[in-house]
Amino acid sequence: MRPLLQETVERLLADAVTQDLLRAAETGVWPADLWAEIEALGLPLAAVSEDLGGTGASWTDIFVVIRACGAAAAPVPLPEAILANSLLASAGLEPPESGVIVFAAGSADAPIAEVPWGRHAQWLALHDAVAGRIALHSLDGAHITTDTNVAGEPRDTITLATGSLIKETATSAATDTVLLAGAMLRSAQMAGALGRLTEINADYANERIQFGRPIGKFQAVQQQLAVLATQAAAAVAAAEAAFLLATPSAEFVTTSSAKAVAGEAAGKGAAIAHAVFGAIGFTHDHSLHFLTRRLWAWRAEYGSDAFWAERLGQAIATAGDDGLWLLVTGAFAETSNP
């Protein structure tokens, strides 16, 4: 299933996400055709079990979808929709059949900050950690204050309209559900963007001529590209581990590792990419910034690398010197091949 899912999504996004589409999206244009294709493929319901109308894909399968969204800089909240529907379904609530759905943490009675793609969404899966409830709200009539992250992606503040509640149920009061889920998504998106960054850097190093030869002939440039590739590889490997979701306790360990590693890799990788592309890559006309600005934005969202490193460090210190290795090995439960 995973190879087919990967090929389908990569092909769809490669065809649809053009530079024009990305530029239009940054001015606020919603790519309705692309979203219609995504819904037609049933992708937003990928993680939802079949009895609730979904596909029942494993998170290991879904990893390639999220990574592809990152690689393409897809200006649609497919990662958010997959997760929002999964949050609802795992609480026993049937997700809406269609319409853009995103997720957030907060209370229905107060403004909800930094809702990804809020202005384009019809539905909101809201986790209220204090009340221990998960709810589906309609965004009809919601008051929306628009804002964006550093990549120009919508991150809006939403005040729900009266009567927005469609359905809700009690859930665990775990405060980190949305934070962990968001960190997991962003780590995979960063892994995808870093992979694409490595690929376009290698292509450019072979094309750009200076001193009479392609700049990729210079060892200084080769060594930089190799570092970029290893950072991309580390982000992929760390995110893959997070998407195993081996056990509930592993979820925290592998997700914090993934967000910390991918975040650090994003910083290093974007810097190398801009060094290799030189001045042309610093222009708005060039497409490089669609990836690098997203890497900067995603590194910051749902906890920076330092934030997650500190949390993981607290857990390691609690485990102690003898517990360190048990914690590391325990994060990868031995399972049959997914």
Restricting to residues 308-327, name those near other proteins by CB under 8 A: 308-321, 324-325, 327
Minimal distance, residue 242 CB to other proteins, in Å: 9
Measured CA distances, 298 to 11, 29, 183, 246, 315 (Å): 23, 21, 9, 24, 24
Q: Which is nearer to other proteins, 293 or 311 (CB)?
A: 311
Instruction: State yes or no: residue 115 binds other proteins (CB under 8 A).
Output: no
Closest CA to 107 of 81, 131, 140, 85: 131
User: Which residue in the set 21, 34, 54, 193 belongs to the binding site for other proteins (CB under 8 A)?
Assistant: 54
Please give the distance of CA 164 from its chain centroid, rounded to a whole number. 27
User: Which residue in the set 152, 216, 281, 303 belongs to the binding site for other proteins (CB under 8 A)?
Assistant: 216
Is the Cβ–Cβ distance between 157 and 147 less than 8 Å?
Answer: yes
Q: Which is nearer to other proteins, 162 or 337 (CB)?
A: 337
Restricting to residues 166-205, name those near other proteins by CB under 8 A: 195, 198-199, 202-203, 205
How many residues belong to the site for other proteins (CB under 8 A)?
90
Minimal distance, residue 223 CB to other proteins, in Å: 5
Instruction: State yes or no: residue 42 binds other proteins (CB under 8 A).
Output: yes
User: Which residue in the set 86, 138, 177, 254 belongs to the binding site for other proteins (CB under 8 A)?
Assistant: 254
CB atoms < 10 A from the CB of 69, how many? 28
Restricting to residues 286-305, name those near other proteins by CB under 8 A: 305
Closest CA to 193 of 291, 329, 86, 300: 291
Minimal distance, residue 123 CB to other proteins, in Å: 18
Instruction: State yes or no: residue 46 binds other proteins (CB under 8 A).
Output: yes
Instruction: State yes or no: residue 236 binds other proteins (CB under 8 A).
Output: yes
Minimal distance, residue 266 CB to other proteins, in Å: 13
Instruction: State yes or no: residue 240 binds other proteins (CB under 8 A).
Output: yes
> Phi and psi dihedrals of 247, rounded to 5?
-145, 165
Closest CA to 135 of 150, 123, 147: 123
Instruction: State yes or no: residue 84 binds other proteins (CB under 8 A).
Output: no
